[in-house]
């Protein structure tokens, strides 16, 4: 972005000359002169060596040329500007990390929870359904144990890519934790969620993830559980989808189970019974 304060009419060439010298000179300062006006520019250096300069600060005045004291003042201004820009970049990085999972590029768990709470409030107010689809990579521990954690990370990234591509514009794909990922599906009932989750599961099943040792590729499957509702807490919806996911695992993996299906209901009853047992039984 370029901005000027004051009348710089007919000084474009002098400004360009001084700014060019500033980016070329080792001390970061460039000078020029035109029509009785002296121009000085100082480069704002990047945070990392080898990156282009972040910009220039250019000043001009009539009559008296810029001396070494002026150059030092300009370098001080450039240093402060560079620090300010670095702080802005750092703030952006922190904000981005707070809402994005570094490994997969999906939404973070924190953003998932915040978005789900908001969607549940909207659902309760306007009486439209919200669905959750939970995905877990089958036998993921074996990828890490057999081929190493870098291979496991690649599997996670490839599965995340499929989920991102499957999502509609209003949906949110998130890394829920470990090898578990989730989709928030606004305005989607249970059947619609099952259809979308199945589409994603089948696309993942078609994946061919290259082995990092160059010895062929790996196949990946996922189990999925879906739930939907138009009221209540987001935690309850997640729990219902997670129970359905557990049912999919128990039924043989690589499948999608709806909350309320017989297998999911049976597991829900088991979990409820286990919670009600006194300690020690």
pLDDT at 280: 46
The residues spanned by each domain of the chain are 12-99, 109-276
pLDDT at 1: 45
From the candidates 17, 19, 119, 179, give the one annotated as an active-site residue: 179
List, run by run, the mean pLDDT of 10-residue segments along the chain (281 residues).
59 83 81 86 68 76 87 79 66 62 92 89 85 96 93 97 92 94 94 96 96 94 96 91 94 93 73 60 48
CATH code of the domain occupying 109-276: 3.30.70.270
179 is catalytic: yes
Q: Where are the beta strands (DSSP E) in the chain?
A: 29-34, 37-44, 55-62, 130-137, 172-177, 180-186, 209-210, 217-218, 222-229, 256-258
pLDDT at 5: 59
Edge-to-edge strands of the sheet including 37-44?
29-34, 37-44, 55-62
Of the candidates 131, 134, 112, which has an alpha carbon nearest to the alpha carbon of residue 123? 131
CA–CA dist 58, 251 (Å, integer): 70
CA–CA dist 13, 24 (Å, integer): 17
CA–CA dist 245, 180 (Å, integer): 10
CA–CA dist 229, 243 (Å, integer): 15
């Amino acid at each position: 972005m370029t901005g000027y304060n004051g009348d710089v009419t007919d000084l474009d060439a002098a400004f360009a000359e001084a700014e060019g010298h500033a980016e070329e000179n080792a001390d970061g300062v460039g000078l020029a002169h035109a029509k009785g006006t002296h121009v000085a520019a100082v480069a704002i250096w990047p945070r990392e060596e080898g990156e282009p300069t972040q910009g220039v600060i250019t000043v001009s005045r009539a009559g008296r040329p810029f001396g070494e004291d002026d150059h030092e003042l300009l370098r001080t201004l450039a240093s402060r500007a560079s620090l300010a820009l670095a702080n802005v970049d750092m703030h952006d990085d922190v904000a981005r990390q707070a809402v994005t999972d570094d490994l997969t590029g999906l939404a973070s768990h924190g953003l998932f929870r915040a978005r789900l709470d908001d969607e549940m409030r909207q659902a309760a107010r306007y009486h439209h359904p919200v669905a959750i689809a939970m995905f877990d990579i089958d036998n993921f521990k074996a990828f890490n144990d057999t081929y190493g954690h870098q291979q496991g990370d690649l599997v996670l990234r490839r599965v995340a890519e499929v989920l991102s591509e499957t999502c509609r514009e209003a949906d949110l794909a998130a890394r829920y934790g470990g090898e578990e990922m989730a989709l928030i599906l606004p305005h989607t009932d249970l059947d619609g969620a099952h259809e979308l989750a199945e589409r994603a599961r089948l696309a993942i099943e078609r994946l061919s993830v290259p082995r990092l040792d160059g010895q062929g590729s790996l196949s990946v499957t996922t189990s999925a559980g879906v739930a939907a509702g138009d009221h209540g807490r987001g935690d309850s919806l997640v729990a219902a989808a997670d129970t359905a996911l557990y049912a999919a695992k128990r039924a043989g993996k690589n499948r999608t189970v709806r909350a309320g299906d017989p297998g999911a209901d049976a597991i829900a009853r088991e979990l409820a019974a286990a919670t009600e047992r006194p300690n020690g039984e």
